[in-house]
Structure 1
Amino acid sequence: MEFVRTNTSLPVPQVYHAFERASRVYIVMQRIEAPNLATQWCRRSEASKNKVLEQLKTMFEELRGLEAPKGVGVANVDLGPILDHRLPRQSQWGPYSCIQDFHKALVDDQDLAAVEDDSFSDLQELARFYHQQPWHHPVFTHGDLSSLNILCEQDEVVGIIDWETAGWLPPYWEYVTAWNVNPQNAFWQEEVDKFLTPYPLARDMDAVRRKYFGFY
């Protein structure tokens, strides 16, 4: 959060103190007194929704403008492992020197390019997607842009919270994680394309990845 606060104009809580006690890490931070979008979105007018979405679009274009450190592939803000409890088998992943290594880990290090059975044409397509060259540089990504994590006061976005999944990730990762919402947040799928760059192929390929290698 402090990295985003220092390097962008995004509204994030200020961190006052962080400490470890009894092998657990605690963060003392600013409390932003505002409701999240999940509790109010369906009651908003179209004009109100558009104002909020335009703000989000501007904010995340700014976040994408941050330059990745030289040599980073997929990593958290400190260039260590990313944290994502929605990924299968483990919570911490990497760090990886390139996006291709991250993709390889997501499919259990299996060589999908060796799949010859045409009944698994979706896996063959996933292999082509993962092995495309060159991959663009990673971008700084929140990783969990649920409406539950966006705080609004009237029509103003006043807080983006829950940055534990943030890091340097493939350009499409923000989109697919925001689009794959939990069932209580299903309405948000209709809004994601309005403030993030859509990656429809990446969304389809991530669905294949989740089909064979684990759901969020």
Structure 2
Amino acid sequence: MAIVHLLSLLTDLWKRFDDYILDLRLHFGHTITDDAQRRITRIFPNQVVKGPCTQQEVEGTLFAAQHAALHSFTPRIHRIHERRDGRAFIIMEFVEGENLLDVWPRLDDVGRRDVVKQLWRNLQQLRACVQPVSASGVLVGSAISGSEVRDGSYSLDPFGPFWNLEGFNRLQQRNPNLQRFSRFWTPVDKRAASTVFTHGDMALRNVIVRQDGSLCLIDWEAAGWWPEYWEMCKWHFGDWPRLPGWVDLMDEVSGLNV
């Protein structure tokens, strides 16, 4: 019993020390963004800390990190720091490059099409991922456990998970932000019943263009298992500020908005 107590004490002391080191790094680091929900801080030239993060974002980030096919267009994850108070912080690679929101206006039609084609190839690799056993059968749920999710088109409140279309369709029908896509669930479109791993916030601001022209997808807060058409709904919903050509090209190249 004495050994167990000592180990428990040492574990607690280590967690306190680990939290203290994180606090120091957050204090002396360079704040990139800071709002009511989370803060992103650059703590080293090649590392940032984001948090506190929801369980949904932690799972989406870890799920992507577990799949080698996705590593070329996702940030490298160094660790998930779980504080003693239960809050989670993601320590990840700082992706060097320019935000696609800034790059897009400078691209000609050929350049924009090339970017969208590359992005859609990346998304297809996401969509090819197989559900883990822990989330097997869920239609709408978090990436690993199949638990509740959040999405900005609704609110910051969690909902779900959903195992069938009936419950999710009732939720969608109450969402004025998505009524223009109602044809996908009333009558039931075959793509509504098929779930795929989804980034969930595919907007220009969430894509980094690296120096070599490759893309990196950031901000996995809304990632999880969603119906096949959901990614398309979100690039329509997230098109702000509205930029010419983005949504139309994504619809055309993906073939989803038909």
Does the TM-score normalized on the shorter chain lie above 0.5? yes
Please state how far the C-alpha of 1:185 moved relative to its aligned partner. Answer: 3.7
Identical-pair percentage: 25
Q: In the aligned structure 1, how far is the partner of 2:218 from the partner of 2:194?
A: 25
Aligned length: 186
- Aligned pair in 2 of structure 1 residues 172, 33: CA closer, same or farther (>3 Å)? same
What is the SS of the residue equivalent to 1:55?
Answer: helix
Amino acid at match of 1:189: V
| Contact 2:119–2:215 (CA under 8 A) maintained in structure 1 | no
| Alignment counterpart, residue 129 of structure 1, candidates 165, 171, 185 | 185
Taking structure 1 as the reference length, the TM-score comes to 0.73
Secondary structure, counterpart of 1:26 in structure 2: strand
Change beyond 3 A, Cα 1:154–1:46: farther
Per the alignment, do residues 141 and 156 of structure 1 end up closer, same or farther by CA in structure 2, a change over 3 Å counting? same
Q: 1:143 to 1:23 in 2, by over 3 A?
A: same
Inter-partner Cα distance in structure 2 for 1:54 and 1:97? 32
Higher strand share: 2
TM-score by length of structure 2 reads 0.63
Unpaired runs of at least 5, structure 1? 109-121, 201-216
Matches within 5 A, 1:106-145: 106-107=172-173, 126=182, 129-130=185-186, 132=188, 135-145=192-202
When structure 1 is superposed on structure 2, of 160-169 and 179-188 the one drifting more is 179-188
Compute the displacement of 1:85 (Å). Answer: 2.9
Pick aligned residue for 1:84 from 120, 129, 151: 151
8 Å CA contact 2:169, 2:185 repeated in 1: no
What's the counterpart of residue 206 of structure 1?
A: none
SS of equivalent to 2:79: strand
Greater mean deviation of Cα atoms: 69-78 or 37-46:
69-78
Q: CA RMSD in A?
A: 2.8
Cα pair distance change 1:147/1:189, threshold 3 Å: same
Q: Which of 1 and 2 has higher RCO (CA within 8 Å, sep 6+)?
A: 1
Following the alignment from structure 1 to structure 2, what is the Cα–Cα distance between the partners of residues 171 and 128?
Answer: 10
The answer on whether the counterparts of 2:184 and 2:229 sit within 8 Å (CA) in structure 1 is: no
CA offsets per residue over residues 45-97 of structure 1, 9 Å max, x none? 33322221221121112222123353212101021111213314x52111111
